[in-house]
Structure 1
Amino acid sequence: MRRRRFMQACTVVLGGALLAACGTDDSAGTPSGQPGDRDDDRAWLMPEEGDPHRRTWMAFGASAGIWGAELVPETQRALGAIARAIARFEPVSMLVRPSDMAVARDLAGPDVELIEAAIDDLWMRDTGPVFVVGAGRAAVDFNFNGWGEKQDYDNDAEVASIVAARAGVELLHTDLVLEGGGLEVDGEGTAIITESCVLNSNRNPGWKKADVEEELYRLLGIEKVIWLPGIAGRDITDGHTDFYARFVRPGVVVAGLDNDPDSFDYAVTRKHLDILRAATDVHGNTLQVEVLEAPVDVREEFANDDFAAGYINYYVCNGAVIAPEFGDAEADEAARATLARLYPDRQIVQVNIDGIAAGGGGIHCTTQQEPAA
């Protein structure tokens, strides 16, 4: 279940400075932001992904400078395949550089709305806003900073405001730095978050768990956080939640399990399972934890050290679950069957995403839902 470590355009400091940047600290200092006050009425709530959507947002952002010229065509093909699969069930809007408009139209097809925009990369889950509902609808800008300034992000730092303006919703601001891939919610006030990402000094120096929890209550209506340790410094995201655990619905979680003893995720996925099985949600209920094991074999053409060979990074849209397949017939079918059991009222649509997986990501990483309510 390898994931993108540091892409070709990343600029990082090696050695001790990198270790310091990737460390987590739950005790030092005070946050730069002002946490919310839980004595106030909760104004906003982040819905669960399975709630009805108005549309899905994506970004057609693969570039040779980051991905390498050889991988770009396959990555673009996979983006088009994901967009077409989702567009069968709900509207899809995709940000596209003007120079890529023709190829995006060819690959995404006529049912996907293409919007000209300057973008650096394709990870809409992280660069886009997190939508919330309350008296109306709004979107939170979580200050994307290139996963701790590991990659150029000048254009992608503006994606949240572009999407919110296009969606016609208020943009909410915070000092907290967080990516959507680092956050899983059940829609009732429970969240799963990795410490390695959110409590990382490359994003939120000085913030403690309590500070993060207060700000997430103010912005997303989160009342209970289940903290997973994650693992920092091994992939570009510092261990996003959506490669480890996902809410199927309130009370039910599906978790990834890496069975490769040589993988850096082997031990941490087992630790996460122990934590999740002992955890309770905001209502005090013990979670039902299901497991999605990673494939044993993958297609070799685009396999590399960053290849994200795991099923956990699927996406739930209106009436369907869009999930990856990797050419391991037995594992692909087992994942499909598990998802069909967990989502009995949705179609399970599996897509070859080898280009995106070769960049260390998955379907969930490329998408962001806009709720209907």
Structure 2
Amino acid sequence: MTNLFNDSPKKAGYRFPAEWVKHEATWLSWPHKEESWPGKIETIYTPYCQFIKIVAEGEKVRINVNDEETKAFAISELEKVGADLSQVEFYLHPTNDAWCRDHGPAFLLNEAKSQKAVVDWGYNAWGGKYPPFDLDDVIPTKIAGHFNHPLYLPEIVMEGGSVEFNGAGTILTTTACLLNKNRNPHLTKEEIEQYLLEFYGAEQVLWLGDGIVGDDTDGHIDDITRFVNEDTVLTVVESNPLDENYILLQENLAALKEMRLLNGKPLNIIKLPMPSPVIHEDTRLPASYANFYIANTSVIVPTFRDVNDEKALKIIQDVFPDRKVVGIDSTDIIWGLGSFHCLSQQEPAI
């Protein structure tokens, strides 16, 4: 481990920027796995393409596709919603599934050298839940090779949706996910922290507890608490005391209030509501407004045909006055147990 860290991205001057920093592109992996949306996959392409259309207004969209046939299908679906195809690039990188936040590349920047690097964490489909995942696991290495970026291989399991960044040295994550024995059972909490700090170029890790009910990732942070600037987080709270998310989200809120940033300041905490439970085929789905994606000119927020949709959109618009906040119906997409943030991964601009 010592040798690994001697040559870490942090020591080479790299760090993982905050999501609101200017992007060169957004990466996606075109959805094709019917088992991820059983009986519903044909219904997700319209909202998925609407998402691409909005993102493409301010940056490139780079999409991993399995083959030329998939590419042709993607183009036809994007044309239906009027997306600007001059902003969309396709890469023949076959995938198992669509969740690019978790299997895609972690792009790091060395601003002093104006250089980009890629971290390819190990990926095991959230603790081996959904094999096969061999194609997804090598996506970051393929992308790094295509663009000739330096590549780092930590050789432990880590997912992009499990970590949240303020761009000023702080990482926020959950014990429910990162300390789960289905990820890295050979590592202690302290050792996992060391990997995060060295491979993301950060200075501190702050830990929350559990994720929301229905989240098959074992508690990803991007469904509960998100940085919106260096010292402010949006965090979801449940208003109904009888709801099964109520207590765990109250516990997370209490933990956030105790946290201190590197400068000693407490977090500025803004509460987001939760939608009413979204149930499909007797399964509670992990519907959350926190799974928004910050693009260059917009913030895309999943909505759920719920009374709290407009309230959530207004709260998010208030913290992003320089971006257009757009709600896109995610009722069908969430059947796949994730939404727009889970599906996307930003590539920062140099």
TM exceeding 0.5? yes
> Is the CA contact 2:211–2:224 (under 8 Å) kept in the aligned structure 1?
no
Tell me the SS of whatever aligns to 1:155.
Answer: helix
The structure 2 residue matched to 1:137, chosen from 116, 128, 145, is 116
Distance 1:82 1:245, change over 3 A: same
Query: Cα RMSD between the aligned structures?
Result: 2.4
Of all paired residues, the percent bearing the same amino acid is 30
Query: Which residue matches 1:45?
Result: 15
- Give the aligned residue type for 1:141: D
Query: Which residue matches 2:176?
Result: 196
The structure 2 residue matched to 1:313, chosen from 272, 291, 302, is 291
Query: Which residue matches 2:57?
Result: 88
Query: Which residue matches 2:338?
Result: 361
Query: Which residue matches 1:127?
Result: 103
Aligned length: 338
Distance 1:256 1:296, change over 3 A: same
The structure 2 residue matched to 1:286, chosen from 266, 269, 273, is 266
- Give the aligned residue type for 2:103: T
Query: Which residue matches 1:101?
Result: 71
**Structure 2 residue runs without a partner (length 5+):** 80-84
> Is the CA contact 2:300–2:326 (under 8 Å) kept in the aligned structure 1?
yes
Distance 1:230 1:282, change over 3 A: same
Query: Which residue matches 2:221?
Result: 241
Are residues 1:154 and 2:123 paired? no
Deviations 1:160-204 (A, max 9, x none): 112223343222110221100000011111010111111111111
For 1:288 and 1:54, the matched residues in 2 are separated by: 29
Q: Give the TM-score normalised by structure 1.
A: 0.84
Tell me the SS of whatever aligns to 1:348.
Answer: strand
TM-fit CA distance, 1:260: 4.8
Query: Which residue matches 1:327?
Result: 305
Distance 1:370 1:194, change over 3 A: same
For 1:208 and 1:53, the matched residues in 2 are separated by: 34
Deviations 1:252-283 (A, max 9, x none): 01111134555543221111111111111122
Larger RCO (CA within 8 A; separation ≥ 6): 1
**Structure 1 residue runs without a partner (length 5+):** 1-30
Tell me the SS of whatever aligns to 1:175.
Answer: coil
> Is the CA contact 1:129–1:139 (under 8 Å) kept in the aligned structure 2?
yes
For 1:59 and 1:185, the matched residues in 2 are separated by: 22
> Is the CA contact 2:215–2:286 (under 8 Å) kept in the aligned structure 1?
no
> Is the CA contact 1:308–1:362 (under 8 Å) kept in the aligned structure 2?
no
- Give the aligned residue type for 1:312: A
For 2:109 and 2:45, the matched residues in 1 are separated by: 32
Tell me the SS of whatever aligns to 1:324.
Answer: strand
